[in-house]
């Protein structure tokens, strides 16, 4: 499949991808699709009468500051728009290819737009689905011989986060303050975290929800997932360690979560589904699926200190190593009747592999600060310092094309002094 828009084979946004986002320039925020170096303006395409009435509602759902109205239409509309876009942008379709005036209206260089948070997020749930990550953390803080809690291999562990502190890539993160307590200290103190960390994750958006009390069966879970983004769930490890007993994460996690601006449709990732790790014991019936739902997505984390000219890669891992899949997460999430809604965001939890350089956070890479990470120029990091920038990238490699996520990046700002 090729487009009349020239897209290099190593570019994140070929015609096989077509991710959705929300952008603005000299006009109010609206919905678009990335294709190569351009944003295809879906609002303008709808205004121009290019859409078949059977594909989307007569109301222009793309004339919005979020994807929610489009997402709420369901999988039939998502598939219809994707099919229409693929046809319109294909090499042999002259409709837009041969109309210079219309092309100028609908195709906007990405360099000329500002990307916004793509979805109005109602709720945010973060899971803990990597066995390698959970085992490493359990080894550090519990028993290396028995690092996993007894329930971990029976269900995707998760907690409810804070949707109001989810930010789009490029929004810098302020170092949080909180209570911490050293092991040998008689009492806690309050101040800036000294254990600021990133977490390499993917996130998925709920497109259509479920009625209260009505679980989503695992074989229909994919029909409710609109697409995926890169996600950095920032963590203050020292605050988290002091506060998490007995109710779990709170201020150590709620201050910031960053996501990439482009939402890659689940259909674009379908060719890259693979078998995941063997699950033992066999999951309970509501978590069993015969379909392969691991995904061959290469991910990397880069770190740039204030003294560095370019970011340096500190970690690389493949998403296929995850023990629990996204459909298992969603099915388990609703198994008690929890109603999910359009725009809800779920994070996978830190993605880590078996190798030391495939660990998805500094807590693991530096092994709780005992083995600092070496950066070019001689700097070392156990945890993030002010001025550090974290960049996460990822994508799937096809035959002569790449389906990528772009990137999610942010810089650490000093704690407030007032």
Query: Looking at the annotation, which residues are catalytic?
Result: 133
d(CA 235, CA 194): 11
Smallest CA-to-CA distance from 302 within 288, 285, 289, 316 is with 316
Smallest CA-to-CA distance from 319 within 346, 344, 291, 349 is with 349
Alpha helices (H) in 94-182, listed in sequence order: 94-97, 100-106, 131-141
What phi and psi values does residue 227 have, to the nearest 5 degrees? 180, -175
| Structure-derived torsion over alpha carbons of residues 3, 8, 12, 18, reported in degrees to the nearest 10 | -10
CB-CB contact of 82 with 18 (8 Å)? yes
Strand 30-35 relative to strand 380-381: parallel, antiparallel, unpaired?
Answer: unpaired
| Structure-derived torsion over alpha carbons of residues 347, 348, 354, 355, reported in degrees to the nearest 10 | -30
d(CA 405, CA 228): 8
| CA separation, residue 354 to residues 79, 216, 357, 363, 364 (Å) | 36, 32, 9, 15, 11
Question: Which residue, chain included where needed, has tokens 């506060």?
Answer: 243
Beta strands in 189-311 (DSSP E): 189-192, 196-197, 200-206, 225-233, 235-236, 257-259, 264-265, 273-274, 294-295, 298-304
d(CA 210, CA 259): 24
191-229 b/e (C-beta count within 10 Å ≥ 16 → b): ebbebbbbbbbbbbbbbbbbeeeebbebeebbbbbbbbb
What helix, strand, coil percent values describe the chain, rounded to 5? 25, 30, 50
């Amino acid at each position: 499949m090729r487009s009349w828009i020239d897209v290099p084979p190593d570019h994140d946004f070929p015609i096989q991808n077509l991710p959705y986002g929300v952008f603005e320039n000299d006009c109010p925020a609206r919905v678009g699709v990335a294709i190569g170096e351009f944003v295809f303006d879906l609002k303008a395409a709808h205004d121009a009468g290019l859409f078949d009435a059977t594909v989307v509602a007569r109301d222009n759902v793309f004339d919005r500051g979020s994807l929610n109205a489009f997402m709420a239409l369901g999988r039939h509309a998502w598939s219809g728009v994707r099919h229409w876009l693929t046809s319109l942008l294909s090499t042999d379709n002259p409709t837009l290819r041969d109309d210079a005036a219309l092309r100028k209206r609908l195709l906007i260089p990405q360099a000329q737009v500002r990307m916004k948070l793509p979805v109005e997020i109602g709720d945010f749930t973060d899971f803990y689905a990597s066995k390698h990550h959970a085992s490493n953390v359990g080894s550090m803080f519990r028993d290396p011989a028995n690092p996993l809690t007894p329930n971990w291999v029976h269900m995707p562990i998760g907690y409810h986060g804070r949707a109001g502190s989810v930010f789009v890539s490029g929004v810098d993160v302020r170092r949080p303050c909180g209570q911490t307590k050293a092991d040998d200290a008689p009492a806690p103190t309050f101040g800036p975290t000294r254990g600021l960390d990133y977490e390499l994750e993917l996130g998925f958006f709920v497109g259509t929800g479920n009625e209260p009390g009505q679980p989503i069966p695992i074989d229909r879970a994919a029909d409710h997932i609109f697409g995926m983004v890169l996600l950095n769930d920032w963590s203050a490890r020292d605050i988290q360690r002091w506060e998490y007993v007995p109710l779990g994460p709170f201020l150590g996690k709620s201050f910031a979560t960053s996501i990439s601006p482009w939402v890659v449709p689940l259909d674009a990732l379908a060719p890259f589904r693979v078998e995941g790790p063997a699950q033992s014991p066999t999951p309970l019936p509501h978590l069993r699926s015969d379909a392969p739902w691991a995904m061959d997505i290469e991910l990397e984390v880069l770190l740039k200190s204030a003294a560095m000219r370019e970011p340096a890669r500190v970690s690389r891992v493949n998403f296929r190593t995850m023990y629990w899949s996204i459909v298992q997460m969603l099915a388990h999430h609703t198994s008690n009747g929890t109603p999910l809604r359009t725009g809800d965001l779920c994070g996978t939890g830190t993605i880590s592999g078996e190798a030391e350089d495939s660990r998805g956070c500094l807590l693991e890479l530096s092994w709780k600060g005992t083995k600092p990470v070496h950066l070019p120029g001689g700097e070392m990091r156990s945890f993030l310092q002010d001025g550090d920038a974290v960049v996460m990238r990822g994508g799937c490699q096809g035959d002569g094309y790449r389906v990528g996520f772009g990137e999610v990046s942010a810089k650490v700002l000093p704690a407030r002094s007032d």
